[in-house]
Amino acid sequence: MEFALVLRELAKRKRVLTIGVLIAAAAAVFSVYRVDGHKLEPRALQYSSAHTEVVVDSRPSVLGNVAQSFEPLVARAAVYSNFMTSPAVLALIGQQIGLSGEQIYAAGPVSVDEPRVEQEPTALKRNVEITGETKPYRLSFESQASLPTISINSQAPTTSQAVALANAAAVGMQEYVAGIERASKVPAASRVVIRQLGAASGAVVDAGIRKSLAAMVFVAVILAWCVLTLLAVRFREAWRASAILAAVDADRDTLERQPYGQARNGAEHERYGRGGSGEHERVDAPASELHAGVGASAP
């Protein structure tokens, strides 16, 4: 019942509702687009992600040699996945796709063997993470507990950029490790081999986020406009009612402050007007005048 009354109240104000619809539509458009000069450019709401994996191997390959153990390579993969977030490696990764290392935010894995309280980031580390959240190019590295593999996940504004970033991370890791081995003059038979397990594949994440966000903004704004309209109507009605009550109270106070006779004469004056009958006028006359009138009329 109350909902029907609300709809009836809003239906009386079609012009106000039309203005609200226009404002809601403008808010929905600007929630997914931004003004760039004389045109609208889409906001960076949706993004793409890509994934690839690399294996930390040896020469000859441990994958085909049952006499060799995976454990040393598993530990080495965990180390590599952590230092992949260093500025030196990120600079090599950025060179592959025309970016600087400072434009890329990278996060390494968290060891599953550490207590939960130690896995939570410190204040300094969280400050760096918050700063990195504003960067559109992101990398994360995860190492497996029992396999010498590293999972590389990338994020970029477009799918092609995300795929290129993931592939560049694998190449950058290969170049960094190879550069260290050359600088240290490690024999070829003892060098580590970084193999990428296939090219990266990617896709768009939340492709329909623009439509969903625009719809939510439109509904929220139009509901807020309707509520404000109803509040304004109720406020105006209450203001008018309070003004009438104030006027009545003022008149009542004026009458109560006047002397009794003056107030009575004023009341009689309001009741009969200035053109009242003589009879009423003589009722209110002094007693001496009444007696004089009676004596004058006697024979």
Count the neighbouring beta carbons within 10 Å of the beta carbon of residue 142: 16
Q: Show the tokens assigned to 235.
A: 């406020």
In angstroms, the CA 247 to CA 253 distance is 10
Residue with tokens 């104030």: 246
The per-residue DSSP string of 167-187 comes to: HHHHHHHHHHHHHHHHHHT--
Report the predicted TM-score, pTM, of the whole model to 2 decimal places: 0.56
- The β-bridge partners of 40 are 35
pLDDT tens track of the chain, all 299 residues? Answer: 577 777 777 788 888 888 988 999 998 888 878 777 777 777 766 678 999 999 998 887 777 776 677 788 888 888 888 888 888 899 999 998 998 888 898 887 755 454 434 334 444 344 444 444 557 899 999 888 788 889 999 999 889 999 999 999 999 989 988 888 888 888 888 888 888 988 999 888 766 677 787 889 899 999 998 889 888 888 888 888 888 888 877 777 777 776 655 555 555 555 555 544 444 444 444 545 544 544 444 44
Sign of the CA dihedral running 270, 274, 279, 285: positive
Contact status, residue 97 vs residue 115, Cβ threshold 8 Å: no
